[in-house]
Structures are given as C-alpha cells and as structure tokens.
Amino acid sequence: MTGMLEVSADWLALREAEDGRARSRRLARLAAALVGADVPSRARPVTVHDLGSGTGSMMRWLAPQLPGPQSWVLHDWNADLTAHATEARPPLDRTGRPIAVASRVTPLDRLSPADLDGADLVTASALLDVVTAREAHAIVDACLAAGAPAFLPLSVTGDVELRPWDPRDIRVARAFNEHQRREVDGRRLLGRFGAPIVRGLFTRAGWHVRTALTTWRLDRRDPVLLGEWFDGWADAAVEQAEVDRDRTLLDQAAGYRELRREQQRRGGLSAVVYHLDVLAWPR
C-alpha cells in the first residue's frame, strides 16, 4: 500500500526476542482458551489471521501456545517480509505438530470481512500505532464481522523511562510522540492513540475487552537493540523538532545524544518502553 511504513527484516529480527519477552502471556493464555473451547468438535484447523505479520515473529511466538492443528494466514503489504516466514520451517503447535502457513498482500485500508473469512483468531503485533483511523476501523469492523477474538499486543503508549534520568528526556519524548502522529503520504498515523481507539471501538460494539500494560526493558544485556532503539527514538524526535522549529531541542540534541551514548558505552544506560496489549472477543 502506498504510504505504508516500511520496516527492515534486520530490525524485526533484532527486536523479536524482546517482543516475545514483553507480550502478555496472561492475554495469550486467555486467547488460547477462547480458540480452544470448541477444538474437540472442530472439523478443521484453528485458523489464525496475522495482520501486519512482517517476517512472522508473532506466529513463531504464539503458535506453540495454541491448540492444533493450526493454519496461519499472514497479511502484510510487504511480500518480501512474509517470504521469510513462508519459506522457513514452520513452528509447531502446542502438541508438537507443524502448522500450515500461507501469506497474502493485504492493504489494511481495504481490509474487508471476506479477508478474515473462517478466522478463529486475529492477531496484530506492534501495528496499531502505525495505522490510520480508517485502517483501525477497517480492522475492527472485519474482526466484528468474522466474530473472531482479536489479540493485538505491543502498541506503544508513548511512555518511556530512561535511567539515569535527564530533564531533556521529557522534550525528546514529547517530540517523538508527535512524530508518531505525523502524516505520511496522506496517511495521518494514530501513534500512541491507536490501541486506546481500537479498545474503545470493540467496547462500543459490546465485546469483552482485556488489556495489559507491557514493557520492553532495554539495557546492557542487549546493547545492539538498546542502541538501535535509542537512535531511532532520538532521530524521530529531531525530525519532528525540525518540522516544529523547536530550536531548544535542536540545540540540545547533539549533546544529549553524546551523553546517552557515553552512558551506554559504560553500561550505565537503560530504558523501559511501555506498550498496551489488547484482547477482544464477542459476548
């Protein structure tokens, strides 16, 4: 889809382990219970549709927690990313059987109920903060029509805690959050409002909704991920400061970066990045 944000397979691989640690296992267990309730009478595999699937990290994490047999359909606007998942050895379900995997190139603004036909579960990891209001409504409407539970983890809340604290953190975080709401090729992103909006849409539709506040915890145990995250976070803030003509932040950026990089070189920098996980299912 023109204008959709592109991410690299390298970045997805770098963050995969931390994503897996961070996602709510409590909500995953509840999702597994929901799709497993009618497994004894099921005449077909458990069908999971993964929106914005990338290279399949959500599938690799969740499939072993779900009953089988399973069939996953990976939806993404970047066929090169889904090729990583479909060409690799598939993960195993909870009973040790390999799952079936297929992929589709799916523009989210044109997602329809037919795209989720037969779904027993819909997932979307780290997606709701990079969609538009139109796309968020399309996702919810398609889930409602399919009548399938939706497990949507790892949407950023905009809250970040760096240690040691620095007063400039506040201004950088504010600029980053505004950058997350920018317009990209005519698409106004929801940023940190994405997960609350989707939660509200499901609630208004009368569905059960459960949420969990989840965190990335970045420190010297994974210096590459910490460094890549910090550079991306600071780059976005500076880009927004240039748009806003925020001279204070622009003047402070170089010194702030050097301080944080020196702290990381000494092993003294850490960051907690907050996310909201959402699980919704029909009454």
Domain spans in the chain, listed from the N-terminal domain onward: 9-281
Please report, in angstroms and rounded to a whole number, the separation of the first and last CA atoms in the chain: 34
* 9-281 homologous superfamily: Vaccinia Virus protein VP39 (3.40.50.150)
What string of pLDDT tens digits covers the 283 residues of the chain? Answer: 344 566 889 999 999 999 999 999 999 999 999 998 665 556 689 999 999 999 999 999 999 999 999 999 999 988 899 898 888 889 999 999 999 999 999 888 789 999 999 999 999 999 999 999 999 999 999 999 999 999 999 999 999 999 999 999 999 999 999 999 999 989 999 999 999 999 999 999 999 999 999 999 999 999 999 999 999 999 999 999 999 999 999 999 999 999 999 999 999 999 999 999 999 999 9
Identify the sign of the CA torsion 212, 71, 79, 110: negative
Which distant-in-sequence residues (6+ apart) come within 8 Å of 228 by Cβ? 11, 14
Strand 208-218 with 270-281, pairing: antiparallel
Cα 249 versus chain centre, distance: 28
> What is the reported pLDDT for 40?
56
